[in-house]
Amino acid sequence: MITIQNYVRAQSLEEAWQLNQNKRNRILGGMLWLRLGSGAVGTAIDLCDLGLDAIEETDEQFSIGAMVTLRDLELHAGLNTYTHHAVADAVKDIVGVQFRNMATVGGSIWGRFGFSDVLTVFLALDTYVQLYQGGIVPLREFIEMKKDRDLLVRLIVKKSPCRITYTSMRNQRTDFPVLACAVSCIGNEYRASIGARPSQATLTCTDNPGSPAEFAAFVAEHTPTGGNLRGSAAYRTHLIRVLTERCMTELGGM
Amino acid sequence: MEIKLKLNGRAVTASVEADTVLLDFLREKGCLSVKRGCDTSNCGLCTVLMDGKPILSCSTLAVRADSHEVQTLEGLQEEASDFVGFIADQGADQCGFCNPGFVMNTIALLRENPDPTDDEIRAFLAGNLCRCSGYDGQLRGIRSYLDSRKA
Amino acid sequence: MEHPNYKAINQSVRKKDAMQLLLGKPVYTDDVTPKDALVVKILRSPHANAIVEEIRTDIAKKVPGIVDIYTWEDVPQTRFAIAGQTFPEPSPYDRLILDRHVRFSGDAVAIIAAETEKAALKAMKLIKVRYQVLPAVLDFRTAKDNPVLVHPEEDWFPPCDVGGDPKRNVIASACETYGDVDGILADCDIVLERTYHTKAFNQAMMEPFTTYADFDRYGRLHIISSTQIVFHTRRILSRALGIPKSKIRVEKPRIGGGFGAKQTAVCEVYPAFVAMKTGRPAMICYTREEAQIAGSPRHEMEITLKLGATKDGKIRVMDLYTLSNSGAYGEHGPTTVGLSGHKSIPLYTGSLEAHRFSYDVVYTNHQAAGAYRGYGATQGIFAVESIVSELAEQLGMDATEIRDKNMIREGMVMPAYYNEIANACALDRCMEHCRKMFHWEERSKVRDMGNGKVRTAGVAMAMQGSCISNVDVGSATVKLSEDGTYNLIIGAADMGTGCDTILAQMVAELMDCSVDDVAVFGADTDVSPYDSGSYASSTTYITGQAVVKACGELKQRICSIAAGMMDCREDAVVFEGKQVRRINTDQTVSLTDIAYQSQTCNNIAAESTAAHSSPVSPPPYMVGMVEIELDKLTGKVDILDYMAVVDCGIPINPALARIQTEGGIVQGIGHTLMENVTYNDSGRPVESSFMQYKLPTRQDIGRLHVEFEHSYEPTGPFGAKSIGEIVINTPAPAIAHAIYRATGVWHRELPITPEQIALSKID
């Protein structure tokens, strides 16, 4: 379990960012990984007073604050209508309702975790992160960036006309995914976002997918996989083909 | 650090360290129904309600409860008594170690969705592990309770 | 024999502690013990096999809040075993409280006693250890005669000769033969030889190991522990600490599950030692990680099984060899292995003409294994039931019909089961009942769902025992109170199963009172009559029969007191529940009056204690059937429906018996499909948390349905047999069978993962 010396509820983003420049300090997300680390944190910075726990919907976009919980995502009617409940599908098998009441969008996205269903599904949408210093950055660029001491303020999902579907393969119902797969069509572009490879999600895009099986083979070919406790690289590659094809077929029926 | 919260309806002021975990804080305050089961946020035994929402107290800092309202099973005896008898009739309490977390989360479920289907019950309670009962007895108990409400 | 109509037996009454548990009352070890106890933490070896060359605790001891830190130099040098077994234990005495030689990754190196957990954990990081790392035995298949010895010490001591030889890394070994095995094998039309592998699954009860130690008002060591074995624990601590048993009291409060894990004194010795050394109360609460890596999991077994049959499916001979991995210490190694053959082969007594059962139990540098529900039968039944289903499939026979043809039936003598007679056996009716209830004929068909998924079903039978015959002792004390109610005092440990309640139901039946009129207490070595403990599925069958005896004697005493009150002979009165009547008269005395009379000028104690053992261990039987939907592309298996029919004689409490069965089925689903044990380079399970060791959730199990078939066991209370362990034995073979039917591939290692299913080719 980590040790923490001080706790501060930041009263402004500036304050939070300033505190975060000290390498001994840490921004608190949902803290589900609290017991897992054994390091020492100087000041834990809580963003809970900054009004970042809301999802704002306009005609053009969704603005999802960093402190929005996964459960908020799961239950948001507008977001799930727009995404054909793909966002709900992405989070509903994550551990449990209690867990999802705590885990935050900011924590999931900033962490850029390999196992993240959240990252996988948002990568398939027209998503941007808003960084305090770094400004608005497309998510597909953000995931390539090295971790720094900036602050993730919100996620922006542009409401481009979109079909999307999400699926994952898990060995046990609420386990980490062995493979996560979101397939979307935005405009003319088909995207396959493959996560839990076991590394973080990558995007494979094309205007010319061919049949679902052809698209699946194309995605599998362009997505490196690895082995870990939950599965081998070969199995993951196999799953990419299977799940991508199923998602594409489902997309075709939308 | 000093925190002020409402615990089971009572205003509580306490001095905690920045890394005091809510689970330990609550047990220290006499809420012994809150159990530690797994250390990795996977079992649901430590479920409490924060502002009415079910959360895992093992993964929450006590300082985060400052200016919030926390409820444990000690404070929800009446609401629990409404339905736990039906679980008892099934024999599904068994060792009981998972019971408080399961009961708390069931209270949260029924507040949010007073007429859930079996699948909705299973999905909402998925984060509450039980090793003794095989889960079905708990579901039968809740179903009997819900049926009794309709009758 | 038919069961009569009972008043309290075969009734689904609530557990006596149900409302206390459901309303979150503080009844567990960590709830009922004072908060000012010293926190005890263990520094654990990262190496699988090592000598502690040097250990420096001086800096660690300076951390504020540290009371003391103990190393191998501070502990008694008497070896002991921590297995909960009747003395003399079949387990070798191969442990020290802290040993200079550490034998698995997770083995205890130092004991830290601190005022707070934070201080203990801080100090733990400051203990400096220099290890001489030794080569380790990390594959149980290479353990026997491996030049690396897990226990090279001279003072290794086996209280019983079980065929062990630590110079070969062997803890136990035996071979038994019945009939002309090789001759019959040579004569069979079909011989199958297969190898099965099951892993060191973890009981994963919700409450990890927890023990509190302090001193009572007489200065004796007082232990409050989450344990199934209060009496064995007292004896173990006596030997380990070198103090007389009269100076130790062990009691158990409510326990958050055990399943056999707590049939081993996993952690008791540490706070006991700290209390003795410091004179202060001490408490240890294992973390989930410790429960996963330094607990007492199931024995990893590799079972090689040869089966010989005729081409009509008559099973004539079985030759079963078990290699069992006991890990770093002996504990339950010598005893679990026997069940892998003795509680699997007899299922086919109907047709078997010969059998051979042989085994080796070996030491390795893995976590020491222990007792887990099923206790070896689970592993053996996975092998036997899988091979029989494979035989059926090869012969084109229905898997239930091959069992009809060969199964044990009531009245048969079981040569593979100590020559006991199956006096109560409804296995045939269980099969017929399950077949009908499950619609086996339709659902066993392989149905293509058209979306890459396939539905089909599998079946398996199981048996277990009821107690360890000629060994287990159960006792009960029944006392009459002055309001005409009773106190029942037992030494068996209710770990959530509800044995407190069902034993009270027995008293209620015998004393003709309500279950509410019976208050139950258990278990405490100062107060309880001797009981081996809650394991081996002995509580209903053995402690239950002790209850029957004690009630019989108590009724006599009550009648004696009443006869005195009515001034007549003892044989002139009859017990009528709430009163005693002078036969053929209207003269009665109430139970209440009798109780008050027993408190005034009385020489007949209004209480009775009885003990019971049995020369037999009558098997319960069951049949399990499972319908699955298997995704041929991803390999995912969804359990749609699991149905089971159980013959436990008669369920004393049908609701509790049903829950026991459902709970066992779900544990079985867990170790078949999703609980896995893999090791890092030091032989430590990677699955050291619930994040990695995946228990089934309520969404992983489909629908469960359990029913019962009654039989009448003449040696059991009310004709009852056990149910506690058998319930975990059918899922693995039933699901493996269904997976075969869906894919054409037999999986012989547990767990069967989606990856294995998806990527396997048909042999």
- Considering the domain architecture, whether residues B65 and B9 belong to the same structural domain is answered as yes
Q: What is the pLDDT of residues A104-127, one digit of tens each?
A: 999 999 999 999 999 999 999 999
Residues C158-178 have a mean pLDDT of 97
Residue among A131, A134, A155 at smallest CA distance from A67: A155
- Which CATH number, 3.40.1120.10, 3.40.50.2000, 3.30.465.10, 3.40.50.720, labels domain A55-158? 3.30.465.10
What contacts C537, CB < 8 A, 6 or more positions away?
C464, C465, C466, C467, C620, C722, C723, C724, C725, C726
Using alpha carbons only, how large is chain C's radius of gyration in Å? 27
Q: Are C759 and A243 a contacting pair at CB < 8 A?
A: no
For residue A86, the one-letter residue type is A
* Beta pairing class for C413-414 and C190-198: unpaired
ipTM of the complex in this document: 0.98
Of B13, B42, B74, which closes a domain?
Answer: B74
C20's enclosing H/E stretch is helix C18-22
For residue C761, what pLDDT band results from cuts at 50, 70 and 90? confident
B34, B55, B57: best to mutate for the A interface, most A CBs within 10 A: B55
Sign of CA dihedral C597, C601, C603, C608: positive
C-alpha dist (Å) from residue C54 to C57, C70, C73, C154, C335: 10, 13, 11, 22, 36
Mean pLDDT taken over chain C: 97
Residues C201-211 have a mean pLDDT of 98
Rounded Cα gap, residues B129 and B113, in angstroms: 21
Rounded to 10°, the helix B136-150/C654-669 angle is: 130
Q: Does B38 touch chain A (CB under 8 A)?
A: no
CATH of residue C220's domain is 3.90.1170.50
For residue A38, what pLDDT band results from cuts at 50, 70 and 90? confident
- Considering the domain architecture, whether residues C276 and C341 belong to the same structural domain is answered as no
The top-level CATH class assigned to A162-252 is alpha beta
Q: What is the pLDDT of residues B52-99, one digit of tens each?
A: 999 999 999 999 999 999 999 999 999 999 999 999 999 999 999 999
Given a cut of 70, whether residue C727 has pLDDT beyond it is: yes
What residues does each domain of chain A span? 3-46, 55-158, 162-252
Rounded Cα gap, residues C625 and B56, in angstroms: 37
Do the Cβ atoms of C406 and C314 come closer than 8 Å?
A: yes
Q: Are B127 and A95 a contacting pair at CB < 8 A?
A: yes
Rounded Cα gap, residues C626 and C705, in angstroms: 10
Rounded Cα gap, residues C111 and C25, in angstroms: 32
- Considering the domain architecture, whether residues B100 and B121 belong to the same structural domain is answered as yes
- Considering the domain architecture, whether residues B62 and B125 belong to the same structural domain is answered as no
Map residue C627 onto helix, strand or coil: strand
CATH of residue C412's domain is 3.30.365.10
Of B74, B92, B118, which closes a domain?
Answer: B74
- Considering the domain architecture, whether residues C520 and C500 belong to the same structural domain is answered as yes
Map residue B23 onto helix, strand or coil: helix
Sign of CA dihedral C541, C542, C547, C553: positive
- Considering the domain architecture, whether residues B106 and B49 belong to the same structural domain is answered as no
Domain extent for C59: 33-134+206-257+261-293
For residue B45, the one-letter residue type is L
For residue A178, the one-letter residue type is V
In the stretch 25-54 of chain A, residues with CB closer than 8 A to chain B read: 28, 30-32, 34-36, 41, 44, 46, 48
Residues C345-349 have a mean pLDDT of 98
Q: Rounded to the nearest 5°, which phi and psi values hold at C424?
A: -135, 105
DSSP bridge pairs for C170: C165, C362
Residues A225-252 have a mean pLDDT of 97
Mean pLDDT taken over chain A: 96
Residue among A163, A230, A233, A223 at smallest CA distance from A194: A223
Q: Are B45 and C259 a contacting pair at CB < 8 A?
A: no
Residues C401-429 have a mean pLDDT of 98
* Model pLDDT, residue A31: 84
Rounded Cα gap, residues C233 and C241, in angstroms: 12
Rounded to 10°, the helix C544-566/C499-511 angle is: 30
- Considering the domain architecture, whether residues B44 and B22 belong to the same structural domain is answered as yes
DSSP state of A231: B
Statement: the pTM of the whole predicted model exceeds 0.90:
yes
Nearest to C759 among A1, A175, A234 (CB): A234
Q: Are C24 and B139 a contacting pair at CB < 8 A?
A: no
* Model pLDDT, residue C762: 59
* Model pLDDT, residue A34: 60
**Exposure letters C142-181 (e unless 16+ CB within 10 A, then b):** ebbebebbbbeeeebebeeebbbebebbbbbbeeeebeeb
* Beta pairing class for A135-138 and A152-158: unpaired
Rounded Cα gap, residues A192 and A205, in angstroms: 6
Q: What is the pLDDT of residues C98-111, one digit of tens each?
A: 999 999 999 999 99
- Considering the domain architecture, whether residues C277 and C327 belong to the same structural domain is answered as no
For residue C763, what pLDDT band results from cuts at 50, 70 and 90? low
Do the Cβ atoms of A155 and A124 come closer than 8 Å?
A: no
* Model pLDDT, residue B38: 95
Q: Are B128 and A5 a contacting pair at CB < 8 A?
A: no
Rounded Cα gap, residues C291 and C63, in angstroms: 27
Of B17, B49, B74, which closes a domain?
Answer: B74
For residue C233, the one-letter residue type is T
- Considering the domain architecture, whether residues C579 and C634 belong to the same structural domain is answered as no
For residue C410, what pLDDT band results from cuts at 50, 70 and 90? very high
Q: What is the pLDDT of residues A48-94, one digit of tens each?
A: 999 999 999 999 999 999 999 999 999 999 999 999 999 999 999 99
Neighbours of chain C (3+ CB pairs under 8 A): A, B
C694, C698, C701, C761: best to mutate for the A interface, most A CBs within 10 A: C694
E-assigned strand segments in C677-751: 703-708
Residues C642-659 have a mean pLDDT of 98
Given a cut of 60, whether residue C430 has pLDDT beyond it is: yes
* Model pLDDT, residue A39: 85
Domain extent for B140: 76-150
Task: Please report whether residue C371 resides in a domain.
Answer: yes
Q: Does B71 touch chain A (CB under 8 A)?
A: no
Count of structural domains within chain C: 3
CATH of residue B108's domain is 1.10.150.120
- Considering the domain architecture, whether residues C598 and C622 belong to the same structural domain is answered as no
Q: Are A46 and B64 a contacting pair at CB < 8 A?
A: yes
In the stretch 78-137 of chain A, residues with CB closer than 8 A to chain B read: 92-93, 95-99, 101-102
In the stretch 674-733 of chain C, residues with CB closer than 8 A to chain A read: 674, 678, 686-687, 691-692, 694-697, 699-700
Task: Please report whether residue C412 resides in a domain.
Answer: yes
Count of structural domains within chain B: 2
Residue among C287, C375, C294 at smallest CA distance from C328: C294
* Beta pairing class for C128-133 and C447-448: unpaired
Which residues on A lie below 8 Å from C637 (Cβ)?
A: none
Q: How many A×C Cβ pairs under 8 Å? A: 44
- Considering the domain architecture, whether residues C528 and C542 belong to the same structural domain is answered as yes
Q: How many B×C Cβ pairs under 8 Å? A: 176
- Considering the domain architecture, whether residues B81 and B146 belong to the same structural domain is answered as yes
Which residues on C lie below 8 Å from B95 (Cβ)?
A: 21, 205-207, 254-257, 495-496
* Model pLDDT, residue C1: 65
Given a cut of 60, whether residue C92 has pLDDT beyond it is: yes
Q: Are A7 and B61 a contacting pair at CB < 8 A?
A: yes
- Considering the domain architecture, whether residues C57 and C117 belong to the same structural domain is answered as yes
Q: What is the pLDDT of residues C375-407, one digit of tens each?
A: 999 999 999 999 999 999 999 999 999 999 999
Q: Nearest-CA residue of chain B relative to A29? A: B60
* Beta pairing class for A152-158 and A127-131: antiparallel
Rounded Cα gap, residues C43 and C124, in angstroms: 6
- Considering the domain architecture, whether residues B70 and B87 belong to the same structural domain is answered as no
Of C593, C612, C631, which closes a domain?
Answer: C612
A55-158 and A162-252 have identical folds: no
- Considering the domain architecture, whether residues C365 and C253 belong to the same structural domain is answered as no
- Considering the domain architecture, whether residues C385 and C435 belong to the same structural domain is answered as yes
Q: What is the pLDDT of residues C501-513, one digit of tens each?
A: 999 999 999 999 9
Rounded Cα gap, residues C406 and C184, in angstroms: 16
Q: What is the pLDDT of residues B92-124, one digit of tens each?
A: 999 999 999 999 999 999 999 999 999 999 999
Residues C546-565 have a mean pLDDT of 97
Rounded Cα gap, residues B92 and B140, in angstroms: 9
- Considering the domain architecture, whether residues C608 and C666 belong to the same structural domain is answered as no
For residue C620, say if its preceding peptide bond is cis, omega within 30 degrees of 0. no
- Considering the domain architecture, whether residues C661 and C690 belong to the same structural domain is answered as yes
- Considering the domain architecture, whether residues B58 and B19 belong to the same structural domain is answered as yes
Q: How many A×B Cβ pairs under 8 Å? A: 80
- Considering the domain architecture, whether residues C528 and C451 belong to the same structural domain is answered as no
Nearest to B94 among C496, C691, C698 (CB): C496
For residue A35, what pLDDT band results from cuts at 50, 70 and 90? low
Q: Are B127 and A98 a contacting pair at CB < 8 A?
A: yes
- Considering the domain architecture, whether residues B56 and B93 belong to the same structural domain is answered as no
